Structure 1
Amino acid sequence: MRDAYILKPSNSPTLKSKKPSNTNIMELKTKIHAEDGKQEIFITREFDLPVELLFKAYTEAELFEQWMGTKVTKFENKQHGSYRFETSNPQGDIVFSANGTIHEVIQNEKIIRTFQMENTPFPVQIEFLEFEKLTDTTSKITIQTIYKSVDFRDQHLKMPFAQGINMAHNRLQEIVGGGSR
Structure 2
Amino acid sequence: MTNALELTAPVDTLAMEFTRVFDAPVAALFRAHADPDLLARWLGPHGLEMDVTEWDFRDHGGYRYVHRTEHGAFAFNGTFHTVRDNEFILQTFEFEGAPDMVNLEYLWFEDLGDGRSRLRGRSICPNTDARDALLSSGMEGGMTEGYEKLDALLAAG
Q: 1:28, CA displacement in angstroms?
A: 7.8
Q: Which amino acid aligns with 2:73?
A: V
Alpha-carbon RMSD: 1.9
Q: Partner of 1:150 in structure 2? A: 128
Q: Which runs of 5+ in 1 are unaligned?
A: 1-26
Distance 1:94 1:83, change over 3 A: farther
Q: Which amino acid aligns with 2:86?
A: N
Alignment map for 1:1-181 (pairs within 5 Å):
29-68=4-43, 69-89=49-69, 94-120=72-98, 123-178=101-156
Q: TM-score, normalised by structure 2?
A: 0.89
Q: 1:136, CA displacement in angstroms?
A: 3.6
Alignment partners' CA distance in 2, 1:164 and 1:42? 15
Alignment partners' CA distance in 2, 1:36 and 1:151? 13
Q: Which has the higher helix share?
A: 2
Which structure has the bigger radius of gyration?
Answer: 1
Q: 1:94, CA displacement in angstroms?
A: 4.5
Q: Which amino acid aligns with 1:85?
A: Y
Distance 1:117 1:58, change over 3 A: same
Q: Bigger shift: 135-144 or 49-58?
A: 135-144
Distance 1:81 1:94, change over 3 A: farther
Q: 1:43, CA displacement in angstroms?
A: 1.2
Alignment partners' CA distance in 1, 2:60 and 2:99? 25
Q: Partner of 1:15 in structure 2? A: none
Q: In percent, how many aligned pairs have the same letter?
A: 31
Q: Which amino acid aligns with 1:61?
A: P
Q: Bigger shift: 29-38 or 51-60?
A: 29-38
Alignment partners' CA distance in 2, 1:55 and 1:128? 13
Q: Which runs of 4+ in 1 moved over 4 A?
A: none
Q: How many residues align?
A: 151
Judge conservation of contact 1:61–1:75 (CA < 8 Å) in 2: yes
Q: Which has the higher strand share?
A: 2
Judge conservation of contact 1:86–1:98 (CA < 8 Å) in 2: yes
Q: Bigger shift: 109-118 or 62-71?
A: 62-71
Q: 1:30, CA displacement in angstroms?
A: 1.3
Equivalent position SS for 1:108: coil
Alignment partners' CA distance in 2, 1:120 and 1:94? 15
Q: Which amino acid aligns with 1:49?
A: A
